[in-house]
Structure 1
Amino acid sequence: MNPQTSQRALYDAASQGLRALAADDRCRKAFTAPGSLLQHLLSPSARRYVVAADREEFLACLAALRAKGYRSTVEFVGEENSDRAQIERVVQEYLSLLAYEPAPEQVGFDLSNVGLAVSRDLALRNTARIVEAAADRGCEVILSMERFPTVDEVLGVYRELAAEYDTVGITLQAHLHRTEHDLAAVAQPGRKVRLVKGAFQEPPDVAVGRGPALDERYLRFAGELVERGVRLSLATQDPAVLAAAESSGLLARVTEIEMLHGVQPQLLRRYQDAGHTCRIYATYGENWWLHLLHRLAEHPPMVLTALADLADGTERVVGADY
Structure 2
Amino acid sequence: MTQHPTPTGDTSRRALHEAASRGLRMLAADPRCREAFTAPGSLLQDLASPAARRYVLAAGRDEFLVHLKALRDKEYRIAVEFVGEENSDPAGIERVVEEYLAVLAAEPLPGQLGFDLSNLGLAVSRELARDNTARVTRAAAARGADVVLSMERAPAVDAVLDTYRELAADHPNLGVTLQAYLHRTPADLDAIPLDGRRIRLVKGAFAAPADTALGRGPALDERYLALAAELADRGALVSLATQDAAVLAAARERGLLDRVHEIEMLHGVRPALLREYHALGHPCRIYATYGENWWLHLLHRLAEHPPMVLTALADIAERHLDGRHAVGAHY
Q: Is TM > 0.5 for Structure 1 vs Structure 2?
A: yes
Q: How does 1:213-224 map to 2 (within 5 A)?
A: 213-224=219-230
Deviations 1:269-292 (A, max 9, x none): 110100000000000000001100
Q: What displacement does 1:189 show?
A: 1.4
Counterpart check, 1:314 vs 2:321:
yes
CA displacement 1:115-167 (0-9 Å, x = unmatched): 00111011011111101111111110010000000100111111111110100
Offset at residue 314 of structure 1 (A): 1.6
Cα deviations by residue, 1:230-250 (Å, 9 ceiling, x for unpaired): 000010000000000000000
Aligned pairs for 1:146-295 within 5 A? 146-295=152-301
Q: TM-score, structure 1 length as denominator?
A: 0.98
Q: Which residue pairs with 1:36 in the alignment?
A: 42
Contact 2:147–2:174 under 8 Å retained in 1: yes
Is 1:95 aligned to residue 101 of structure 2?
yes
Residue 79 (structure 2) pairs with residue 73 (structure 1): yes
AA aligned to 1:101 is E
Kindly indicate whether the alpha-carbon contact (under 8 Å) linking 1:172 and 1:194 is maintained by their aligned counterparts in 2: yes
Whole-Å separation in 1 of the counterparts to 2:202 and 2:253: 20
Distance (Å, rounded) in 1 between the aligned partners of 2:121 and 2:88 = 7
Q: Which amino acid aligns with 1:299?
A: H
RMSD: 1.0
Please show how residues 56-135 of structure 1 align to structure 2 within 5 Å: 56-135=62-141
SS where residue 234 of structure 1 aligns?
Answer: strand
Task: State the match for 2:148 in structure 1.
Answer: 142
1:304 aligns with 2:310: yes
Mean Cα displacement is larger for which, 183-192 or 290-299? 183-192
For 2:103, give the aligned amino acid: L
Deviation per CA, 1:86-134, whole angstroms, max 9, x where unpaired? 1111111011111113322011100001100111011011111101111
**Structure 1 CA distance, aligned partners of 2:15 and 2:107?**
47
Give the superposition deviation at 1:186: 2.1
Q: Secondary structure at the match of 1:50?
A: coil
